[in-house]
Each structure stands twice: as structure tokens, then as C-alpha cells.
Amino acid sequence: MTTRTNRGRRGALWLRKLVSTLGTVAVTFLGLLVVTFLIGRVVPVDPVLSVVGDRATQAQYDAAYHALGLDKPLVEQFWIWLQKVFQGDFGTSNLTTRPISQDIARVFPATLELATVSIVIGTAFGIPMGVWAAVRQGKLIDQIVRVVGLVGYSAPVFWLGLMGLLLFYFKLDLISGPGRVDISYEYDFTPKTGLFLLDTAMQGAWPAFRNVFSHIILPASLLGYLSLAYISRMTRSFMLNELAQEYITTARVKGVPEWRIIWVQALRNAAVPLVTVVALSYANLLEGSVLTETVFAWPGLGQYLTNSLQNADMNAVLGGTLVIGAIFVGLNMFSDLLYTLLDARTRNQK
């Protein structure tokens, strides 16, 4: 009976947690929709002129103004726009003349691939560096890790990108230049998923795979370094907190090997808050690293938004902004739920 009661309490706790999370996400997303819509109405860009041009007659201007629904009350405009958004209709891009949802679906895989490779690099190097820095607090390796992180926080990303291209592409000729793939390899594979590394590997187009890899490695390493700076710093902080706990002292008294204390017991507990750190770092990368994509001519979401903004294509800018916000909210919710699953204290809370 007691076991069933405890299971019922845990089930009710999970249900309340789920309802609370979904409610928070709904309110956050509604706020995102409102803010995005208002941004499109307060920016000093005339959406009518971006459609008809500055040489249109007053009659043409008035007709476009009416066709866009700008003569309706603001609340009615928001309701119409909201209905279209929930149908996946962000409007038509003035720059490409295609539906914005199609444009985003076309460019987002490039950002997804770049962000995924970057977060793998940042996590694979950032966590061990943070652990070593915490274990050797105040020693040389700790100082090195902190300096590496400081440079990652301080150096302008566009400057690092330009210096990387100058050194590794222009001077040493170790990598390929800007873009995702050389034109001579574009027809060696079929981009089914939009993730060129995956597509070339699945189709066995290994020369094209090597070319794609040589294009992505520098921008991914640059973004991975920026993520590494944040992840290593947070890992060091979490590990210092864990290494000061009583269970670490108890384990050492019992003769548990030091490597097991650090890399299994302490790191396992530090990994719970690290989930949120890595998830938020990944969300920041998926937002579209505008400067990096611009420097490396990477045809992703960041470059798409930059081009749209430069050409006053506000429909595309707002659609991309909304997608970015939805990604950030979704990953934040996922990290919260994963935190609850991994943290035994949260799971057993009554």
C-alpha cells in the first residue's frame, strides 16, 4: 500500500511538473509572438515600400497598404497574423519571392549541422578542461584554462574568423575556403537531409565528404571554442562545488581511487546542472551565428536573416526571429525536464 501511495505521489508530482512546464512554455511563446509582432510594427521600415518600391504611385501604395491589412486595427492584425503563424505561414519573402517557411527549411539544416559539430567540439574539450582546472585549482593548468576561457569571451568572433581564414586557408592551405562545399563536388551527392556530412557519408561519396569536412572544420572549431570557454568555466565551478562536499572526503577516507572520485562520482553529480549549460549553448548556436556565417559565407539561418535585414525584408526577419525563439524555448524546456530526470533530489521531492 505504501509503495502504491509513493508511486501515486510521484505520478501526481510529475503531472503537476508537466502541467506547470507546459503552462510556462505557452505563456512564454505567447509573449514571444506578441513581441515579435510589435517589433514588426515599430521598426523604422515601411513594409509597403519594400513591396511596391519607392517609385510607386499613391494609388499603388494605398492598394498594397490595404492588401497587407495594415488599415485594420492592430488587434485584428495580430489575430490574422497569429492564425497564419499557427498554420506555418510566415508570409512571402520580398527578397526571394518564396514562402518564408520554405526559405527557413532550406537554410536551417546548414545552421543545424554547423551548430551540432560546434557543440560536440565545445563539450568534448570544455568538460575535461573544466574538470582538470577544478582538480588543479590554483595550479598552472587552472590558469591556462582560465586564460583560454577569457580569450574566448573577449576576442571578437569576426576577427577570429578572419584570422583563421588568413592562416589556415590563405597561408597554410590546410582547409577549404568559405561556403559549405566546392562547386566541383556539388553533384557528387544528393542533399537528402540537408546535412552534408551525413548525406555524403550515407551515400559513400567520400571525396565530397572530405571536402565538406574541410569547409566546416574551421567555423565549427571557432564556434566550438566559444562554447568551450563557457562550458569549461561552468564545469570548473560545478566541480569545485562537488569536490568540497562531504561525500568526496568520505570516499577518499575509504580508499576509493582518485580517478573514480573525480571522473565518476563528482562529475556524475556535476553533470546534472551541466545539462542546462550545454543545452543553452546549443540553443545559442542554433540561433544562427550571424557574424560567423557572414565571415565564412555559410548559407545558414544567420546569413539569411542578415541578408533579409539589409534588404528590409521584415517578413523574413520576423519569421526567422520567431523560429529562433521557438528553438530556444523548446531546448530550455527540454533541459528542464532532463534536469528533473537526472536530479534524484528533484525526482524524490514530495
Is residue 78 over pLDDT 90? no
Burial class (CB in 10 A: 0-12, 13-18, 19+), 134: buried
In a domain, 204, yes or no: no
In a domain, 290, yes or no: yes
- Among 34-43, 86-95, 136-145, 226-235, where is mean pLDDT lowest? 34-43
Predicted confidence (pLDDT) per residue in 92-105, tens digit:
887 788 889 899 99
Tell me what pLDDT residue 317 has: 82
Mean pLDDT of 284-292: 78
- Among 56-65, 98-107, 163-172, 299-308, where is mean pLDDT lowest? 56-65
In a domain, 138, yes or no: yes
The model's confidence at residue 345, banded by pLDDT at 50, 70 and 90, is low
**Whether the Cβ atoms of residue 151 and residue 259 lie closer than 8 Å to each other:** no
Mean pLDDT of 2-26: 68
Tell me what pLDDT residue 206 has: 94
Predicted confidence (pLDDT) per residue in 144-183, tens digit:
998 988 888 788 888 888 899 999 998 988 888 889 999 9
Which of 14-23, 95-104, 228-237 holds the top average pLDDT? 228-237
**Whether the Cβ atoms of residue 100 and residue 315 lie closer than 8 Å to each other:** yes
| Number of domains forming the structure of the chain | 1
Three-state SS for the chain is CHHHHHHHHHHHHHHHHHHHHHHHHHHHHHHHHHHHHHHHHHCCCCCCHHHHCCCCCHHHHHHHHHHCCCCCCHHHHHHHHHHHHHCCCCCECCCCCCEHHHHHHHHHHHHHHHHHHHHHHHHHHHHHHHHHHHHCCCCHHHHHHHHHHHHHHHCCHHHHHHHHHHHHHHHCCCCCCCCCCCHHHCCCCCCCCCCHHHHHHHCCCHHHHHHHHHHHHHHHHHHHHHHHHHHHHHHHHHHHHHHCCHHHHHHHHCCCCHHHHHHHHHHHHHHHHHHHHHHHHHHHHHCCCHHHHHHCCCCCHHHHHHHHHHCCCHHHHHHHHHHHHHHHHHHHHHHHHHHHHHCHHHHCCC
In a domain, 148, yes or no: yes
Q: What is the mean pLDDT of the chain?
A: 84
Is residue 258 over pLDDT 70? yes
Among the listed residues 145, 140, 107, the one whose alpha carbon sits nearest the alpha carbon of residue 225: 145
Question: At which residue does the C-alpha cell 592551405 appear?
Answer: 173
Domain extent at residue 128: 88-156+225-347
Tell me what pLDDT residue 156 has: 84
- 192 vs 106, 204, 302, CA distance in Å? 11, 13, 22
Is residue 306 over pLDDT 50? yes
In a domain, 286, yes or no: yes
Tell me what pLDDT residue 57 has: 81
The model's confidence at residue 236, banded by pLDDT at 50, 70 and 90, is very high
The model's confidence at residue 196, banded by pLDDT at 50, 70 and 90, is very high
Mean pLDDT of 224-234: 92
Tell me what pLDDT residue 132 has: 93
Which of 83-92, 94-103, 220-229 holds the top average pLDDT? 220-229
Predicted confidence (pLDDT) per residue in 311-340, tens digit:
777 788 888 888 888 888 788 777 777 776
Mean pLDDT of 205-209: 94
Question: Domain holding 93: CATH number?
Answer: 1.10.3720.10
Tell me what pLDDT residue 189 has: 92
Tell me what pLDDT residue 350 has: 43
In a domain, 25, yes or no: no
Tell me what pLDDT residue 199 has: 94
Mean pLDDT of 220-230: 92
In a domain, 304, yes or no: yes
